[in-house]
Structure 1
Amino acid sequence: MFGQSGSSRSRVALAGALGVGLVLSLAACGGDKKDDSSGSTDAASAGIDCAQFSQFGDLKGKTVSVYTGIVTPEDTPHKKSYEAFEKCTGVTVKYEGDKSFETQILVRAKAGNPPDIAYVPQPGLLKQLVDTGKAVEAPKEVSDNTDKWFGKDWKSYGTVNGKFYAAPLGANVKSLVWYSPKEFKDKGYTIPTTLDELKQLSDKIAATGSKPWCAGIGSGDATGWPVTDWVEDFMLRVNGVDAYDKWVSHEIPFNGPESTAAWNAVGDYLKNDKFVNGGIGDVKSIAATSFQDGGLNILEGTCSLHRQASFYAANFPKATKIAEDGDIYAFYLPGKDASSKPVLGGGEFVVAFADRPEVKAFQYYLSTEIWANQKAKASSGWVSANKGLNIENLTNPIDVLSAKILQDPNAQFRFDGSDMMPAAVGSNAFWKQATAWITGQDTATTVNNIEAAWPKK
């Protein structure tokens, strides 16, 4: 009953990835150092102490099944990152990726045939799985790791009815604005550090006769979701994290003053014909443009700014240099002031349906800083909120930027709101009414319609 996950959206973007390569080198555990095409090395060079797994007993010959929506090609670095665990413990990890994961995992759980481990991309889906009675609480070792390596906000998303079930896995940052470093340098534009400065920059670009922003919200049955991300980002910035939490849980109404203020703030950009849609058309053209194409005109010089998540990097052509001194880069969508750091994003959580020692051991491994660093070395286009992640291990400039944002001590991370709302709202009314709003519907009608769609208790 909950909306599509940010992970789902990531997969849509990455399915057509042209510019994100995989660096498939991984330090794996056990044996003599090898020099082969797999990039495997011994435990010492990987910095992994296999003795840490002895607390779970003799695991040789055991198997752990993993079920996830992370599919080819993103599944390859995941599988590589398990080699250290497998070599240390003798456990075989059986990986199954499925594009229909989010519906099938519920079917399997309710039928009494769940996997040992599932990577769940939404807190709402996690709650549904717990409600089946098949999910098991995370072991103390995993809970302790989560306390050590992740913030309280992340642990709260893996907690249902006061019990901790799922440690975080990967993460994505949605509070980004894509731009051309060359254009900024040539025209003397500076990266804004407050919302006021962002508006001033937009006005400055518009004064040149160019439309500063470009956007696209087309996504098949999910058309409209990029607008919900805009609204969520501005809900955080205009009203603060406490109001955001109450809005997501419907403790304050969707048509209340806080929500209306956020929509109006977004409207200052997305419904402003002087600001959009650079290189494409007028405001209504946003709805007719796919989200994959929404920011590509930055490369053409007909658009300067595009608000979209870290995973949007996958949509630029293969030859595009994505870096601070490249063709394309991104900056943090600023808060009200320079010290305010609200961060909108998404991620996956590791939930178990079995409490066998080998399952606990694998959960433990995935919750460590060791695994986060192994995964970082194995792939590009991936980041974690794990505080033990060494940013130097990240191979992609956008990953580095995302990790710095997540690790900022002032960061206040909040999960994508529509992913936590009931499906009647998050993946239905919110998306559809946002699309109607872009094509001309007024704000009052929009928020009233979404409020009316909220399930009655």
Structure 2
Amino acid sequence: MMQRKRMLGVGGVAVIAAAALAGCSGSSGSDANHTVTIMGAFTDAQAKAFQADLDAWSKSSGVKAKYSGSTDFQTAIVAKAAAGNPPDIAIFPQPGVLAGQEKTLYPLEDLGIDVKSVTSDEAKGLADIAVSGGKTYGLPYSINVKSLVWYNPAAFQKNNLTVPKTADELTALEKTITDKGLGYPWCVGIESGAATGWPATDWLEEYVLRDAGADTYKKWIAGDVKFSDAPIKAAGQKVQSMLLAAGQVNGGGAAAATTSFQTAGNQLWADGKDKGQCFMMKQGSFIADFFPDNIKAQIAQGDTSQVNFFQVPSASGQANSMEGGGDLVGAYSKDSNTAKVVDYLVSKEFGTHGYASQAIFLSPHNTFDSTKYTSVLQKNAQTLLKNSTVFGFDASDMMPAQVGSGTEWKFLTQWFAGQITMDSAFQQIDASWPSK
């Protein structure tokens, strides 16, 4: 289904979101005492921490909830809903997937959720991502910011490098690193199993939002601006010069296509070009959860001497843009216990029972108790978000699923790997767009 997108102004801040969820609902649960089932895409340590938070909350609420994670969430949730056996609650990492489920999801207002009150302090209008016809089909429980450039301050200091404050300074920094043979400007990995290619979409989105502007970004998400149109091609050429030109990434685009996004940043702590040292990595706030154990231990102690980040700098006259994403809570049933769990998950209280210790978590609420974060980097990321003048929700997550998490992942990976040209990749993505 084609999604409708619009610019939203909240507190004087420009916001890019979507509203495409038309509605009818699925079947309602009837047993107010049942254990609420929740399904999402995250697994392992994150899933355990999420369940632990719910269990701690249950002690005071009296409501039991059970989470199960699936690495094939997108396929699994659609299949369960089609079979009439969905969980009570699903946590969608992509609004485009949620959009395809509107006929079986309940508007949160039907659960008695006071959406206006819950979202009164939402970061940059995130409340509007899944609104259609005046009804809300999903709200974020966690957000992330992606316009972050991670670096090793100790390596910068050793090589007399300074953090760039402008786009021109960033370009000059890249040139200094390559000219002096210090290493490679960028650490890049876009391999992610069945989701290989998504980090490449973030790079492209960064420069569409930053260079082409919020209005073009919105039209691109809606399909009114094509990948093969000039603004998107210009962003692609920018990414190509930064990442795919000789000397920018160790092993070039082919290596990036087969390097895991989880481990690409490990080379920030290598020593010298012969050991593959790279100096910067553009990646989301959640990446700290995948750093080596010694680095995570330093972060836990508030030590940023070997890891920190800065926001991708804008060119002169550009808005201070921040790209990001989030995970949306949607409900397939509306009994009283489901409503209570949803209300907790989307509130500023979620995370206060322990989940805020996860490096991957940022609350969408400006009034979230930041003392519950265990990392100074989480606090700093939230500050950068608040100070940004334009927030662009992850474009590939907002596009129709067959494009944003399908052909775009596939063909951008082939482009990075050198199997096809950028123009060919963009043309094939355009060809896959569903008819309006």
How high is the TM-score relative to the length of structure 1? 0.79
Q: Distance in 2 between matches of 1:313 and 1:173?
A: 12
Cα gap change, 1:177 to 1:378, in 2 (>3 Å):
closer
Instruction: Kindly provide the amino acid, as one letter, of the partner of residue 366 in structure 1.
Output: L
Tell me, in whole angstroms, the C-alpha distance in 2 between the residues paired with 1:143 and 1:450. 36
Deviation at 1:296, TM superposition (A): 1.7
User: Which SS does the other structure have where 2:108 is aligned?
Assistant: coil
SS in 1 for 2:49: helix
Matches within 5 A, 1:162-177: 162-177=134-149
1:372/1:290 CA distance change after superposition, 3 Å: closer
C-alpha contact 2:105 2:137 (8 A) present in aligned 1:
no
Q: SS of the counterpart of 2:143?
A: strand
Q: Within 2, Cα distance between the matches of 1:364 and 1:115?
A: 16
Tell me if the contact between 1:385 and 1:406 (Cα under 8 Å) persists in the aligned partners: no
Q: CA deviation at 1:319?
A: 1.4
Equivalence for 2:106: 135
Residue deviations 1:35-78 (CA, integer Å, cap 9, x gap): xxxxxxxxxxxxxxxxxxxxxxxx99553222222322212222
Instruction: Tell me which of 318, 338, 347 is aligned to 1:368.
Output: 347
One-letter identity of the residue aligned with 2:230: P
Contact 2:325 2:393 in 1 (8 A): yes
Runs (5+) with no aligned partner, structure 1: 3-58
Preserved CA contact (<8 Å) 2:211 2:318 = no
Residues 254-301 of structure 1 deviation map (CA, whole Å, 9 limit, x = unaligned)? 111110111011112012213222xxx344332343333322211113
Match of residue 35 from structure 1: none
Matches within 5 A, 1:263-412: 263-277=236-250, 281-301=251-271, 302-320=277-295, 321-322=298-299, 325-337=304-316, 340-408=319-387, 410-412=388-390
Match of 2:411 among 429, 433, 437: 433
**Contact 2:148–2:311 (8 Å) recurs in 1:** yes
Offset at residue 208 of structure 1 (A):
0.9
* Greater than 6 Å deviation, 4+ residue runs: none
Superimposed CA distance per residue, residues 333-368 of structure 1 (whole angstroms, 9 cap, x where no aligned partner): 223349833222222111112222232222222222
Q: Structure 2 vs 1, CA of residues 292 and 92 (structure 1 numbering), >3 Å: closer, same or farther?
A: closer
- Equivalent pair of 2:196/2:409 in contact (CA under 8 Å): yes
RMSD of equivalent CA atoms: 2.6
Cα displacement (A) at 1:245 = 1.3
For the 8 Å contact 2:107–2:136, the answer to whether it is kept is no
Q: Give me the whole-angstrom Cα distance separating, in 1, the residues matched to 2:355 and 2:263.
A: 28
Residues 262, 177 of structure 1: CA spacing in aligned structure 2 closer, same or farther, 3 A cutoff? same
Distance in 1 (alpha carbons) for counterparts of 2:280 and 2:151 = 5
Q: What amino acid is aligned across from residue 178 of structure 2 in structure 1?
A: A
- What is the CA deviation profile of residues 3-62 of structure 1, one whole-angstrom value per residue up to 9, with x for unaligned ones? xxxxxxxxxxxxxxxxxxxxxxxxxxxxxxxxxxxxxxxxxxxxxxxxxxxxxxxx9955
Residue equivalent to 1:104? 76
Corresponding position of 1:233: 206
Contact 2:122 2:364 in 1 (8 A): yes
Equivalent-residue separation in structure 1 for 2:417 and 2:73 (angstroms) = 33
Give 1:258's aligned residue.
231
Query: Is 2:289–2:358's contact at 8 Å kept on the other side of the alignment?
Result: no
* CA distance in 2 between partners of 1:182 and 1:195 (Å): 22
* Equivalent position of 1:6 in the other structure: none
Letter in 2 for 1:318: D
Q: Bigger CA drift: 96-105 or 234-243?
A: 96-105
Alpha carbons of structure 1 residues 233 and 97: separation in structure 2 relative to 1, 3 Å: same
Distance 1:114 1:86, change over 3 A: same
Residue of structure 1 in register with 2:61 after alignment: 89
Q: Which residue identity is paired with 1:240? A: G
- 8 Å CA contact 1:381–1:396 kept in 2: the answer is no
Matched, 1:72 2:44: yes
Overall identity of the aligned pairs, in %: 33
Give the CA deviation at 1:450: 2.0
Question: How far has the Cα of 1:390 moved from its partner?
Answer: 2.5
Partners of 2:285 and 2:381 within 8 A in 1 = yes
Given that residues 182 and 327 in structure 1 are in contact (C-alpha distance below 8 angstroms), is that contact kept between their aligned partners in structure 2? yes
Contact 2:47 2:68 in 1 (8 A): no
Q: State the TM-score, normalized to the length of structure 2.
A: 0.82
Distance (whole Å) between structure 1 residues aligned to residue 106 and residue 85 of structure 2: 11
Aligned-residue offset at 1:84 = 5.4
Is contact 2:192-2:260 (8 Å) kept?
yes
- Structure 1 distance, partners of 2:224, 2:285, is 30
Q: What is the CA–CA distance in structure 2 between the aligned matches of 1:89 and 1:421, rounded to whole Å?
A: 37
Q: Secondary structure at the match of 1:382?
A: coil
Contact between 2:288 and 2:359, CA under 8 Å: does it hold in 1?
no
SS of match in other structure, 2:218: helix
Q: Contact 1:218 / 1:289 at 8 angstroms: preserved in 2?
A: yes
Residue range with higher mean Cα deviation, 318-327 or 188-197 = 318-327
Task: Report the CA distance shift for 1:416/1:187 in structure 2 as closer, same or farther (over 3 A).
Answer: same
